[in-house]
Structure 1
Amino acid sequence: MRGQERGGHNELSGTVHGPAVQAQTVYGGIHVQAPPPRPHPPWQLPPMGRITDRAAELRLLEGRRVRAGRAGDRTLVAVSGLGGVGKTALALAWLHTLREPCPDGQLYADLGAQSPAGPADPAEVTGRFLRALGVPGAQVPGTLAERSALYRSLTAGRRLVVLLDDAASAAQVRPLLPGGPGVTAVTSRWRLPGLSVDGCHWLHLEPLEVDDAVELLAETLADDRVRAQPEQARALVELCAGLPLAVRVAGARLAARPRRGITTMVRALAEEHDRLEELAIDGDHNVRAALDLTYQELPPDAARLYRLLGLHPGSEFGDGVAVALLAEPSSPEGATRARARALLDLLHRASLLTDADEDRHRFHDLVRLHAAHKAERDEPEPERAAALRRVADHYLATATRAEEVVDPQHRTMARDYGDGPVVTEDFGAGTEAALDWQERELANAMAVIRRARSAFPTVSWQLADALWPLFLRRKFSEQWRAAHEEGLAAAEELGDTAAQCRMLTSGGVGELGTGHPERALAMFERAARQFLADGNALGHARTLNYRGLAHQRLGRPDEATRYFTRAARELPRCGDVRAGGLARLNLADVALAQGHAPEAADHAAAAHAVLRASGDTYNAARAAIVLGRAHLARGEAGPAEEHLTAALGDLRAMSAAYETARALHALAELAEVRGDPALARARYGEALELYGAAGRADSADAGRARADLDRLRAPAEE
């Protein structure tokens, strides 16, 4: 994408794996590159919890796997049943035994059918899976179809275990099915008949029999009370309807009171059960009764954290969310973190939280609903609003910090935080760690953006703005559009025209990237009108570049040239010399496409000088590619090689896959001009690999490289 300038920064990049021998200038047609190493297998399954006497179900699942393996087929099973019946525990108990027959790794995703933020986007999940399988973030394709195709290709020869937990529909699951002969398990409250066309086997999980539930209770208590009070133990598990979650919660409460008899718990649970009977849905009242009793005996600070966590809009969260909820101006953050960890441990011991990953936690969906209900009942509205604001500020502050790490040159607009202490998560060091944090929290961030629009609209547009590096580098096109639509609506409600223009220009860049130049042009023009109305000459000048890009994508080179020319003239006058250099680069690109090589060379040389002086190595390398191509079009092989080779070195160092492919493509054409078809074939081939790695295998550039490579291969094959 030419000149995607956002307040002084322009970058589209990818990653190249593996060792390579590089040199400034190479003579004699030498091309050496070692194959990339295979990444370490991912092992993502959550820890296995307690499971009691599901031997028959485990034998059934394993028998289906063995039969499928003998036939050379993949294994696809779906486990359905009531909330709290133990679907995930059963799947984990089985899948954790398969490391030997499935040595290529384990992938896990919570598909969020019960999440307040809504079901997980399959495009987001496939992106996470691709990165876990070793695909660098910048090389993950932008659309679900492209991601699914690459995912199937990468997994075609691998024996993987995949757990898709809490699925909402067959349509959500299907893009996440791997291509290899491994094992995929799906859990859902509902049967998913649509998966029958994919060869799915079904297992509907029923509640535990009384004796098995009593055994689970005894294991939870780890003392002699069940043996001493067998009838009371049977009465207790019957009140829990054999649901393992309810039995564990009741057992955890008893375990915390070793002197309490089971009879006391039976009496209390029976009373709570009766109170909730009218609210029963699919047996959920059995869990809710147990949860109410457990909640009533939590220490006050643990009970408060529990109900405040119920306000969190996503299905899982890190330690930082709990710290943000507990933060007070008078308390040092270190002490608050220690307190948060202690209270989280207590909630885990009470079976109210489960591990999602290291330092990450999740509620069972029934537990989350229960916690939210307690917050609604026991927390005053101002306290609920303040808690939600602290959670939103936590995501906004950490996303902004990640934005600054990834994109230090661009203009970060001011952030508005609430009154409470702002807690920022520690995501590690470096660009990839920052992007990984933004991606891991994307579902939570999108939920906050939607929730904040009515509660505190400044957070809505500012959080959308902070996610810019993730959207630009790892695409997430649907979330890009949705976030900026919400952010724009919030900015309009606030009457904040500067925020509106930010949402329009950043959102318009996303529309350009997903092939909607008409929509992008309308957004850019609306921003231009607003900048004029506000008297913002620099903002208006920047839209000239944006509008030129849209016209270029619409096949209007003369209009594009007119806008780029104005941008090249006006941006330096307004103080943005670097953006003026980008406009010259765009002019060079248009001129070269029209066959005006001398004009293209002049613009590209000027752009290269400005961008290099501004410290923008990436865009300076892009200008060097255009300059090299212009020299090549004029028959000037020496200068062409000099500029293209320098650009290639810079772009390899930055792991910029797409632009590296463009440099190699041009060097392949140069090799043909010099009569070296072997070197040309090697360079075309490597360029094609990088076009594919950057998610641009279907681009016009990749098509031309493929045609040139086929043309060079044809004589040898004949």
Structure 2
Amino acid sequence: MRVELPPEPVYFVNRDEEKARALRAVTEWQGRARPLILALRGPAGLGKTELAGVLARSQLERFPHGVLSVDLDDFRLRGVADPGEVLEQLLRSLGVESALVEAQFRARSKQYWSLTRDLRFILVVDNVRYASELEPLLPASGGCVVIAAGHGPLRELEGGAVDLPLPPLGERAATELMESIVRSSRPTAGQEDVRALVRLCEGLPMALHVTGKWVRASPLRPLPRLVEELRGEFDERGVDGVEHLWNTVYEDLSPPAALLYRLLPHHPAATFTVPSATALLGLGEDSCTQALEELDRVGFLDLQRAVTEGLPLRLPGPLRAHALRRSRRDATEREVTEARTRILRWFVRQAQLADRYAAGERLTVADRYEEVPGAPDVPLDDPRAAHGAEREARVARAARWLYEERHALFACVRTAHAYGRDAEAVALSEPLWTYALDHPYQPEVVEVFRHAVEGAVRDGRHAAWIARTRCQLARPLWESGRFEEAERELSAAAAALRLLGDGTEDRRLTASVTEFQGMLSGARGAWAEAAAYFVRSRDIHRTLTGSDYGVMLQTYRLGEARWKLGETEAAHELLSDAHARAVKLERQRMTGRTAFALAGVERELRGAAACTDEEPEAGVRRLGRARELYEQALASARGRRSGFDQARIQDALAALAEEDGRGADAAEHREAAHAIRRRNGLVD
């Protein structure tokens, strides 16, 4: 059972009426193929998220498949949540491998419905703004319950929802909550002083928690004095009590904690990590750690989930808005500019490291960025210093970092573009290219690469930047069927090449642009034209020192093109060469890809031999060789934990076993492939 819930809240009171209504709705629900929806609503600070967790935990025995949870604010770009990315997280929570998550949104929805139609679980969706955000996430099972927390009612939701509006806590319940928090550190707290604090908080649980933690963080000051200080602040400013409470807490922070708090709204993404907060603050690890712990103590942050579940940190929406107001009031222009520059350069460096570790050494045109003073690098290890499983684990960790920080990297490109930091925009686009290869069909990727192209053109000093960024933009364009746009980008890239010299890196970039032209031709089905481009690209690589990988890759691409053209013997020779080179270079992914392609050619040649007078022994040898290559590809896929590749290789092994008259082996391979797809919701 998977239960994606934080620990039970230490202090939680009341909400008995809402809990009773929810339990009654669950007990009486008779849905067949549509889940029950409980809609918790109300302004920020009323404890909707906590109540959703309490409700879900109280019903665990009824739902054997556990609790999944998503926060839509984690998936927002410019205020809009991406339902495709939310579905990706839910599918991963349900056990689907990343490589087996369908690329297109419609297919991803069907995959989710297929996987959930017979399950009984609770889905908690936080920060729902509109019913249209919730609809695509509904499981295809009437045995599920969806708990949606948001500000307003979901009246336009098809089928309706059980509406559970949350009012502010009454004085009795609010006093009980405040007493629980305060008296754990002040057992002699007077009831009148506690009630005075409660009245300042206007019944908002969030404000009560912040106030209580603020009091607990000041154990030496008498409570009556604290109450008077707070009341004095409120009376002097004459603004909303909660806002002034937050102001009072903020003004009592140490200088580093106050600086971090007012800088956090300038972090590129809504979520952040300890390393990225350290870069933003710029005072070193120890100062940042102490500042984060102080913000946690006063209730501005929740470090518990970050520590126990490894989740990123985030200022809740109202607090982020408050921090921004304090930044506008208290931060100097220089302070913000330096922080923005520092975090931007830090993300560029981390992305470059992750890219180098995930993809290996490859052609890049941007300068490598040095470590940012006061901001250590994220703990990623160089795969080149390890072997075997540890090497692959290091590669996977680097790729995972690019995925987890994608929103921050996208935002950094937009920030760099907006402030004329063209070098940073171009530098970030190269690691995001590696990310895009693993996660295609995302409109944000096209936007990012367009910004990089515009930055390279605006800078105007580096033809290599222009050629490289236009190639990066071309691929997602042709992948989405926009072939003419892709061709224009590649034509402009080729034109930029005329401004280059004849150095090694210039020729390497020329070979890369030529390869992209061949890939576009292949995507259009013009394989003869593609083959000609791949030949030219390989010929360039052959003249360059240290370009063994480029020669291997172009040989592989040329072999696939020859195979598409029906030139099987030529394809066999080329793919054999590419495979041998990949093995020698210890490139596991390319070893698997070349082995799989070469095995297919061996099978085709064996079939052709059966129709001729070729000796039977030759056919047997080809069959054995194909099996050996498929097994090699399968071992590579297992080492990379790629279920997608494992399934297609098992399919091929099943077909090979059928051809060899081994029916039992064929059935075993088919079942293995089917089990992978079934486990990932790709088949019934």
For normalisation by structure 1, the TM-score amounts to 0.80
Tell me which residue corresponds to 1:361. Answer: 313
**Aligned residues of 1:501 and 1:531 also touching (Cα < 8 A):** yes
Hey, what's the Cα distance between the residues in 1 that align with 2:433 and 2:682? Answer: 21
Distance apart, 1:572 and its partner CA: 1.6
Distance in 2 between residues matched to 1:186 and 1:632, nearest whole Å: 58
Aligned to 1:191: 153
Q: Identity over the aligned pairs, expressed in percent? A: 25
Decide whether aligned partners of structure 1 residues 228 and 663 sit closer, same or farther in structure 2, where only a CA change above 3 A counts.
closer
Alpha-carbon distance change, 449 to 348 in structure 1, aligned in 2, over 3 angstroms: same
User: Aligned partners of 1:450, 1:427: CA distance in 2, in Å?
Assistant: 25
Mean Cα displacement is larger for which, 543-552 or 607-616? 607-616
The answer to whether residue 660 in structure 2 is matched with residue 653 in structure 1 is no
2:539 is the alignment partner of 1:573: no
- 1:242 pairs with 2:212: no
Which residue identity does 1:599 align to in structure 2?
A: A
Instruction: Between 105-114 and 547-556, report the one with greater CA deviation.
Output: 105-114
Matched residue, 2:425? 460
Aligned mate of 1:289, from 232, 238, 244: 244
Secondary structure of 1:467's aligned partner: helix
Corresponding residue to 1:584 among 555, 559, 567: 555
TM-aligned CA deviation for residue 298 of structure 1 = 1.5
The answer to whether the 8 A contact 2:97-2:643 is kept is no
1:259 shift after superposition = 0.2
- Letter of the 1:415 partner, please give it: R
Relative distance call for 1:531 and 1:363 in structure 2 (3 A) is same
Q: Which structure 2 residues correspond to residues 50-89 of structure 1 after superposition, within 5 A?
A: 50-68=11-29, 74-89=35-50
Select which of 259, 264, 270 maps to 1:315: 270
Aligned to 1:254: 215
- 86-95 or 473-482, which moves further after superposition? 473-482
Matched residue SS, 1:52? coil
Residues 572 and 598 of structure 2 are in contact (CA less than 8 Å); yes or no, is this contact kept in structure 1?
no
How far apart, in 2, do the equivalents of 1:74 and 1:53 lie?
27
Match of 1:299 among 249, 254, 274: 254
**Equivalent residue letter for 1:388:** R
Shift of 1:670: 4.2
Structure 1 unaligned spans of 5+: 1-40, 277-284, 329-335, 698-718
Matches within 5 A, 1:109-120: 109-112=70-73, 118-120=79-81
Matched, 1:344 2:292: yes
Match of 2:128 in 1: 167
Equivalent residue number for residue 368 of structure 2: 415
Larger RCO: Structure 1 or Structure 2 (Cα < 8 Å, ≥ 6 residues apart)? 1
| Counterpart residue number, 1:378 | 330
**Which deviations, in whole Å up to 9, do the C-alpha atoms of 1:248-269 show, x marking residues without a partner?**
2233333334403165145325
Note the C-alpha offset of 1:384. 1.0
Number of aligned residues: 640
Q: 1:127-142 maps to which residues of 2 (within 5 A)?
A: 127-142=88-103
Distance 2:679 2:484 in 1: 28
Structure 1 residue 209, shift from structure 2 partner:
1.7
Identify the residue that residue 205 of structure 1 maps to in structure 2.
166
Which of 602, 620, 625 is residue 628 of structure 1 equivalent to?
A: 602
SS at match of 2:223: coil
Q: Which residue of 2 aligns with 1:558?
A: 528
Rounded to whole Å, the distance in 2 between the matches of 1:692 and 1:501 is 43
User: Structure 2 vs 1, CA of residues 467 and 654 (structure 1 numbering), >3 Å: closer, same or farther?
Assistant: farther
CA contact under 8 A between 1:295 and 1:303: conserved in structure 2? yes
- Residue 642 (structure 1) aligned to one of 596, 621, 624: 624
CA distance in 2, matches of 1:93, 1:517: 52
Structure 1 pair 186/265, CA: closer, same or farther in 2 (3 Å)? farther
Which residue among 377, 383, 386 is the counterpart of 1:424?
377
CA contact under 8 A between 1:604 and 1:626: conserved in structure 2?
no
Aligned CA distance change for structure 1 residues 462 and 185 (closer, same or farther; 3 Å): farther
Cα deviation digits, residues 651-697 of structure 1 (max 9, x gap): 22222555555555554454454455665565566557768989999
Q: 1:692 to 1:577 in 2, by over 3 A?
A: farther
Alignment counterpart, residue 347 of structure 2, candidates 381, 395, 404: 395
Amino acid at match of 1:399: A
Provide the residue aligned with 1:158 in structure 2: 119
Aligned counterparts of 2:488 and 2:98: Cα–Cα separation in 1? 30
Query: Cα 1:432–1:225, aligned 2, differ >3 Å: closer, same or farther?
Result: same
Q: CA deviation at 1:308?
A: 1.8
Partner of 1:324: 279
Segments of 5+ residues of structure 2 without an aligned counterpart are: 382-392, 611-618
Task: Return closer, same or farther for 1:185/1:381 CA change in 2, 3 Å cut-off.
Answer: same
Distance across 2 between alignment mates of 1:159 and 1:390:
47
1:439 pairs with 2:394? no
Amino acid at match of 1:509: R
The reply to whether residue 593 of structure 1 matches residue 564 of structure 2 is yes
Work out whether residues 33 and 117 of structure 2, in 8 Å CA contact, stay in contact via their aligned partners in 1.
no
- Residues 516 and 200 from structure 1, CA distance in 2 versus in 1: closer, same or farther, beyond 3 angstroms? farther
Q: Is the 8 A contact 1:84 1:287 kept in 2?
A: no
1:225-259: CA deviations, max 9, x gaps? 997353x6555434433222222223333333440
CA drift of 1:82 comes to 0.7
What is the TM-score with the length of structure 2 in the denominator?
0.84
In 1, the alpha carbon distance for the partners of 2:46 and 2:583 equals 62
Q: Is the 8 A contact 1:110 1:120 kept in 2?
A: no
1:123 aligns with 2:84: yes
Q: CA deviation at 1:135?
A: 2.2
Q: What SS does the aligned partner of 1:533 have? A: coil
Quick check: 235-244 or 203-212, which moved more?
Answer: 235-244
The 10-residue stretch of structure 1 (634-643 or 293-302) with the greater mean CA deviation from structure 2: 634-643
Match of 1:270 in 2: 234
Secondary structure at the aligned position of 1:107 is classed as strand
Measure, in 1, the Cα distance between the counterparts of 2:635 and 2:132: 40
Counterpart secondary structure, 1:634: helix
1:291 deviation in Å? 0.7
Question: Which of 404, 426, 433 is the aligned partner of 2:356?
Answer: 404
Distance, in Å, in 1 between the alignment partners of 2:191 and 2:660 is: 91
Secondary structure in structure 2 of the residue aligned to 1:438: helix
**Which has the larger displacement, 555-564 or 57-66?**
555-564
Structure 2 residue matching 1:78: 3-state secondary structure: strand
Query: Residue 588 of structure 1 contacts residue 601 of structure 1 at CA under 8 Å; is this kept in 2?
Result: yes
